[in-house]
Structure 1
């Protein structure tokens, strides 16, 4: 076992306040393993980037692959090791803020082991990027580095919790989620049913049926709603002109934007902005 992570069991050096205690990026070969017969005094989060690892908790073996997040609660007796020829992962020992308790209510695969499979490639990339920032900031000596590392970890927990709620409660198809992701990242671009269908490898008719079944509205109506809601945010929080806002959210004509906005919100963009300023 790594001496540094073993020392986390020593109450003399374990931080009492919330924070990232230690974190790193490992590439381990087949003979790597860690056994903690008393668990740890902190929480441990591990995200698998490549290869396979295994956790043994409560006499059960749990295999983790790319996209899997595993979180061990304090005092959970556990062992983990490389399952195949190699295992690449990022990890962090931490003490959570009180506001994170709800975020840490994730599927429990064994007593003390939370595990979730993130299948969405965009979210996988986001988790890895957040871990990289956390590792960088945790090693820095700047007086705000601790907060920055905590913010990176909180972003991971928020994103994972959102994914958990989406997959476990709403059961949204991955291709529908991909459409929504495409829209949120590219509101200004021109989208058609045919172009979106090609991007998610479905026929237009199949995607239309699936999307309406799971979202409750058509693809184009949902895109329009997302554009208008973003337009409302820009009207509220920026000084951009109505023409600029219209262009920012994908409308080639400010007149058409005004027409759709008025129908959606019950007042035109100018009156909407004035109403918010007077509130």
Structure 2
């Protein structure tokens, strides 16, 4: 069991000290673990399950949480949570004040507890890493510790909001992440399909049905959009840009650029200046 608590203060116009508190922890608990708060707390509570199973009692109902589940509890909500019987619960958590995150990133519905399953491995890793940064920065209590914690927390809430607003198949989402991460490499659909757990033909069909484009067209579009930015905002030659974004053949780059922008790279650069 590991946890940390940090208080950060500054003087307001009324010369009163305003305490800003972030409390974070990393727990791996047996089924004897339970926390009861019949009066709730005055802050938000965010948890992310790394393994095992936990339970929540809030809003008059019980909800279980498993690996990849992100839970967000509203301030003031009476609640109880703990490890399910016969299980262990491995999770990270953070209590944060109401004013730490923008209101538009927090749920406005009447549900006291929201549970969102994150089934995309790339997103899970980002969320876990953000929690680790919160733990580290809240422990170090540096000059900008609160702001760093706020930044990492905001990343988690943005990923959660994106998940809710862009409800696409997790395997398509994972494919998009792989394309953007490895844009400069010579990607093979067989390799991508293996990573997302589908056959190449099934992935190709699913991807096009969701996005309206083939995987190859999507990758080329990503590359050309990045190339356009480099042409507009750097002094690199079209040949250098072609290589920067992953094209091995300059003529292929030229053809793709005309396909997406209707002009060749040189004409595009002149018009952009």
TM-score (norm 1): 0.83
* CA deviation profile, 1:174-196 (whole Å, cap 9, x unmatched): 22222212101100111234443
| Residue 32 (str. 1) matches residue 12 (str. 2) | no
Query: Deviation at 1:242?
Result: 2.2
2:245 matches 1:249: yes
Compute the displacement of 1:223 (Å): 1.2
Unaligned runs of 5+ in 2: 7-15
Aligned-pair distance for 1:98?
7.8
How big is the shift at 1:218? Answer: 1.5
Contact 1:18 1:94 in 2 (8 A): no
Alpha-carbon shift at residue 72 of structure 1 (Å): 0.6
* Structure 2 residue aligned with 1:211: 207
Give CA-to-partner distance per residue, 1:211-265, whole Å, 9 cap, x none. Answer: 1111111221111111111222233344433222211211012333233213311
Question: Which residue pairs with 1:76 in the alignment?
Answer: 77
Shift of 1:203: 3.3
Q: Give the corresponding residue for 1:235.
A: 231
> Residues 59 and 113 of structure 2 are in contact (CA less than 8 Å); yes or no, is this contact kept in structure 1?
no
Change (3 A) 1:88 1:205: closer
> Equivalents in 2 of 1:166, 1:17: separation in Å?
37
CA shift digits 1:83-133 (9 cap, x unpaired): 14321111111124486322222887xx31011011111111111110000
* Post-superposition offset of 1:200: 3.2
Tell me the matched-pair count: 260
Residue equivalent to 1:273: 269
Q: Secondary structure at the match of 1:93?
A: strand
Q: Which moved more, 1:78-87 or 1:233-242?
A: 233-242
SS at match of 1:102: helix
1:101 maps to what in 2? 103
Any stretches of 5+ residues in structure 1 without a counterpart?
6-14
Q: Is the contact made by 2:101 and 2:154 (CA closer than 8 Å) also made in structure 1?
A: no
- Superposition pairs for residues 8-47 of structure 1, below 5 Å? 21-47=22-48
**Quick one: distance in 2 between partners of 1:106 and 1:212?**
34
CA distance in 2, matches of 1:106, 1:195: 41
**What's the C-alpha RMSD, in Å, of the aligned pairs?**
2.6
> Judging changes above 3 Å, is the alpha-carbon distance between structure 1 residues 240 and 145 closer, same or farther for their aligned structure 2 residues?
farther
- Give CA deviations for 1:145-178 in whole Å, capped at 9, x if unaligned: 21111101111111121122222xxxx2222222
2:65 aligns with: 64
